[in-house]
Amino acid sequence: MSMNGAVDQRRDHSPANAAVVPAEAPRVRLNPSMEHKPDNYDDLPLEFCPVLFSCLERYLLPSMLTAPRDTKVDHMREILLSYSPEAERIKKLSYLTPAFFLQPLHKELYGMHATNFFVSSFLKAIHENTEESFRSIMSEPVPGIFVFEMLQPEFCRLLLEEVEHFEKWVHDKGFIIMHPNLMSKYGVVLDDFGLETMLDKLMCDFVRPISKVFFSDVGGSTLDSHHGFVVEYGIDKDVNLGFHVDDAEVTLNICLGKQFSGGELFFRGVRITINGPSRYIKQFNVSVNQRDEEIFDYSQVPGQAILHHGRHRHGARATTDGNRINLVLWCRSSVFRELKKYQKDFPSWCGECKREKKARQQISISATKQELLKDGEPLT
């Protein structure tokens, strides 16, 4: 489910999702052109009956009659919307998201074709679905961060082309799109471009089985919504990414390419975020509260995935050359979020809380020992 993205238009300040609002009804002819043979619109996912478009086409001005079908459809939709009652119109506008308008470049990306998407070692581990099989393909360089090979180079190539296709369309139409999240300005929300269903399958059938084993304490087995996007770095784009936690229980971050230098990810331990914003990424100061054993820096290569707790504090160093583009899936559990509201104790997954608990226990043990020594009791 996409929560953060939508299209907006440069020319007006209509709310996100309300993409195209005609200022006034475009003009049509009074009498139909009976000699004109209208196009067929049956194959398009239109919010009005396709026959209506074919009928209306005969009423278009001569300059529009010879326009490409896509242009005519956009134009006629504007006419029809301008005649819709207000409530109906607002409802229909919610259909006007990019996925609705844009023809995909690589249709095969929109369904889950696992054998074409993933490397065989990953598929085998998912199929076996045991902790042992997952561990056989993963490294865990610091607790709670899992690194493994995941995507085939061809899938990465096609997805990068699809993203470029979205971006070109957005640019040609003069739209601006929502940023992937509050910190990244370059990239796109994939859910808004029709990839939501595929990404949902990715979460349910591939991320959730692994998370059930490794992130059960943060709702890994009940992940039920996601925010899926790509982020792009380079000297003419975002260069780096500040130290932050994600609005996610579990984050999957996969490098898609292309060629780049720099761009290392750095991780610095999991922390509870008290009263954190529910929807947005939260930024920290990296020098605060650092511990040596939590330091992990990593240079990802294309196709490789990192799976981590969403509140594992992290950031990305400057990409000094080329372009680095990553697919990021923030996976959320509504069950975990609901239960967290009632949690009074320190959560087990927060590094700082765990240490605090241990320190308290140590103090209490030492105090007891002191008491016993004072009383002259033998220690065992």
Residue 249 near ligand AKG by CB under 6 A? no
User: Least distance in Å: CB of 252 to ligand AKG?
Assistant: 11
The nearer residue to ligand AKG, 311 or 314, going by C-beta atoms, is 314
Alpha helices in the chain (DSSP H): 50-57, 62-65, 69-83, 86-93, 98-101, 114-117, 120-128, 131-137, 153-173, 196-201, 208-214, 334-340, 351-374
Determine the 3-state secondary structure of 156 from DSSP: helix
User: Least distance in Å: CB of 372 to ligand AKG?
Assistant: 50
Residue 256 near ligand AKG by CB under 6 A? no
Which residues on adjacent β-strands are paired with residue 304?
149
The nearer residue to ligand AKG, 222 or 319, going by C-beta atoms, is 319
Among 2, 253, 323, 333, binds ligand AKG (CB under 6 A): 253
Residues 93 to 152 in contact with ligand AKG, rule: CB under 6 A:
none
Partner whose footprint covers residue 241, from Fe ion, ligand AKG, none (CB < 5 to 8 Å by kind): ligand AKG
Residue 2 near ligand AKG by CB under 6 A? no
Residue 319 near ligand AKG by CB under 6 A? no
Residues 228 to 287 in contact with Fe ion, rule: CB under 5 A:
246
Residue 210 near ligand AKG by CB under 6 A? no
Distance CA 200, CA 191 (A): 9
Determine the 3-state secondary structure of 259 from DSSP: coil
Nearest to 154 by CA among 91, 109, 213, 105: 109
DSSP 203: I
Amino acid at 319: T
Within 13 Å and on the Cβ side, how many CA atoms surround 173? 21
User: Least distance in Å: CB of 314 to Fe ion?
Assistant: 6
Distance CA 309, CA 100 (A): 33
The nearer residue to Fe ion, 192 or 247, going by C-beta atoms, is 247
User: Least distance in Å: CB of 121 to ligand AKG?
Assistant: 22
Residue numbers at the binding site for ligand AKG (CB under 6 A) = 181, 184, 231, 241, 246, 253, 265, 314, 316, 326, 328
